[in-house]
Amino acid sequence: MLLSSIYYIFALTAVLSAFGVVFSTRPVYCLLSLVVTMLSLAGIFVIIQTPFVAVIQVLVYAGAILVLFLYVIMLINPRQIEPLVEIVITRRLGAVLLTLMFSLLILGTLLRLYRAVPKDVKLVTFDAKDIAVRMFTDYLLPFEITSVLLLVAIIGAVIMARRG
């Protein structure tokens, strides 16, 4: 009972902070709302007993990638960015789509609660060693392409900041 109430607290926090990402007019506040969303998702991963995914969520997304976003925002100087009509329309459209997706998620969860789980279902579990072996053997090329893409994004942000 306690875990389910904590789950709902994390879920509500994630949804509200996601709305903060969509409706925030300042880029830094938007980024801070995104950090809260990522940390709430990590809390949900802990509750559903996937601690490895939770640690990766905090280290990779809430840590490295969002620090990169903050670095890019500070390089671009958000005071020069003026709100445009297209940005407002895009955010409203994103909010509508987010509400629709959240409603479908709630509907799917409620439908799943009322269905019986078959007895012959086998859960597949992976530990950190299995994930590491697969990532550095089967998925080595996509892993390296992602790291090169992040490096190109950092170099592009530095070049864009220097031109101003």
pLDDT tens sequence across 113-132:
666 556 666 666 667 788 88
Question: What is the pLDDT, as a whole number, of residue 118?
Answer: 61
pLDDT higher than threshold 80 for residue 162: no
Cα angle for residues 44, 54, 67 (degrees, 5° grid): 110
Of 62, 73, 60, the closest CA to residue 40 belongs to 62
Mean pLDDT, rounded, for 92-106 = 80
Token output for 137: 């053997």
| CATH classification code of 2-81 | 1.20.120.1200
* pTM score: 0.55
28, 78 in Cβ contact below 8 A?
yes
Euclidean distance between CA atoms 116 and 114, whole angstroms: 7
Residue predicted with more confidence, 37 or 108:
37
**In this predicted structure, which of 1-5, 8-12, 142-146 has the lowest mean pLDDT?**
1-5
pLDDT higher than threshold 80 for residue 161: no
pLDDT higher than threshold 60 for residue 24: yes
* Averaged confidence pLDDT in the chain: 79
Euclidean distance between CA atoms 78 and 28, whole angstroms: 8
